[in-house]
Homo-oligomer: A and B are copies of this chain.
Amino acid sequence: MSRQKRNTKTKEMVMDVFANASSALRYDELEQQLSGQMNRVTIYRILQSFCNDGKVHKIPDRDGKVYYALCQDCEAGHHHDNHLHFRCVKCESIICIDKPVNIPGLPRGYRVQDVSCFVSGYCPNCPSPIHENIPTGRAVHDVACGRRVRPTR
């Protein structure tokens, strides 16, 4: 059976960083925010355990850089991950958007287990280049991971 977990101060601190973040965090951002408070290795281990517990998920962006974000509806062992990750090409933040993605029919023989979609472009806070600024709605940032605007049902 699975090994028993303990609540520790370090785990709490890591969780706090996530709770206060409005978007996904790169490992180095986490490390920076936690610097001095715990060992580098501990952060890695806590992230691994959070991933296994379905508390956090790992998001490698299209360049291979690794981000982490709080999970919404995941359980230990299986991540519910059928949603969008939006990456702003300007400010580089990664935002989880809680909308299911529908996948077009795959060729015969493929059996889908799960889907994750990576959209990149300009986020509401960053101006598009060249073209004049498009008015942005500030509220949209609230769909960011971990903040649920409308209850997902």
With an 8 Å Cβ cutoff, the count of chain A residues facing the other chain is: 44
Question: Is the CB–CB distance between A103 and B106 below 8 Å?
Answer: no
Q: Is A117 an interface residue (CB 8 A)?
A: yes
Q: In chain A between 26 and 81, which residues have their CB closer than 8 angstroms to a CB of chain B?
A: 58, 60-64, 66
Q: How far is the CA of A123 from the CA of B109 in the complex (A)?
A: 7
Provide a sorted-by-A list of 25 A–B residue pairs whose CB atoms are within 8 angstroms: A58-B62, A60-B60, A60-B61, A60-B63, A60-B64, A62-B116, A84-B103, A89-B113, A99-B106, A101-B101, A101-B104, A101-B117, A102-B102, A103-B119, A106-B119, A107-B124, A108-B124, A109-B134, A110-B122, A111-B121, A114-B120, A115-B119, A116-B117, A117-B117, A117-B118
